[in-house]
Amino acid sequence: MVKVINAGFYTTIQDLGRFGFQKYGVPVSGVMDNYSARIANALLGNEENEAILEITMSGPTLQFNCNTIICVSGADFSPKLNDNPIKINHAIYVKEHDVLSFDNPKYGFRCYLAVSRGFQTEIVMNSRSMYNEITSQNTISTNDELSILEHSVSSERKNASIRIDLNHFTTKKLEAFKGPEYELLTKNQQQQLLLEEFTISKDNNRMAYQFDEVFENTLEPIITSLVLPGTVQLTPSGSLIVLMRDCQTTGGYPRVLQLSDAAINVLSQKVTGNKIHFKIKE
């Protein structure tokens, strides 16, 4: 069991997502940055879909009530075990009563905590991913107790680690495919879309990211159609909206681009004021 001493700003249980239910209007959800999440599970020898904690902007304080092995990946929020700094992207032994906390972020916006064999929280529609009105909670709360399986510290020695490419956190480039309505844009609009840098606005969350810049828009709304995580919509006011993992399943705004999965991962680590630019993936 893991006792939540402090829940942090926005901390959720996520796996790789809830698939096969979009026809009922149920979002995919899942980890925002599955590149980082997969690293954490891989370093522990977990299945890649084991549930982990997704930690946004500032970290929680957690007390472990059994022995286990953990890995922190993604953004570097200066994790500490019993007030002693620990490395990210390393397998770390944790003993009963140990306390994990986080400090000031060095880079990135979301980090991930994996435990041996994953968090054993409720499964709804084949997924442990938290989402409002689907699961009983949409975030963890202070004083929660999160079920995990004990892992004997003395049974083996683990020294797994990995060196990551920090370009994942620093690049401005978001690779994208042309969306269904891309060709309806004028040549000037297409050039503007691909040449201009866009600034992450304060309106960013698990559902969508928006930008400060207003894009020239002469397109009419479309008949409500399928949208996916990574769909870039152009609103009547000229704002661009990038749908993220908790997005709705249909929309009526022109879909001018579709981000690659890798680009969704990159965007999920951006904070307000960061700049990005789109690049068509051939």
Q: Is the Cα dihedral 41, 118, 10, 123 positive or negative?
A: positive
Q: Please report the pLDDT score of residue 241 as a whole number.
A: 97
Helices (H), 165-252: 167-170, 187-195
Range(s) for CATH 2.40.100.10 in the chain? 171-280
pLDDT the model gives residue 109: 97
Q: Over the stretch 158-180, which tens digit does the pLDDT of each residue have?
A: 566 677 788 999 999 999 999 99
Its CATH architecture, for the domain 171-280, is Beta Barrel (2.40)
Contact assessment for residue 208 and residue 247, using Cβ atoms and an 8 Å cutoff? yes
Q: CA 55, 60, 62, 67: dihedral to nearest 10 degrees? A: 30
* pLDDT reported for residue 200: 97
pLDDT at 217: 87
Question: What is the spatial distance between Cα 14 and Cα 51, in angstroms, rounded to a whole number?
Answer: 5
What is 104-149 written as a DSSP string? S-SEEEEEEEEETT------BTTB----BTTBS-SS--TT-EE---
pLDDT of residue 159: 61
**Are 128 and 93 contacting, i.e. CB atoms less than 8 angstroms apart?**
no
Question: Could you say which residues of the chain have pLDDT below 70?
Answer: 153-161
Residue 246 is predicted with a pLDDT of: 97
Q: Taking the model in full, what pTM does it have?
A: 0.94
Residue 153's pLDDT is 65
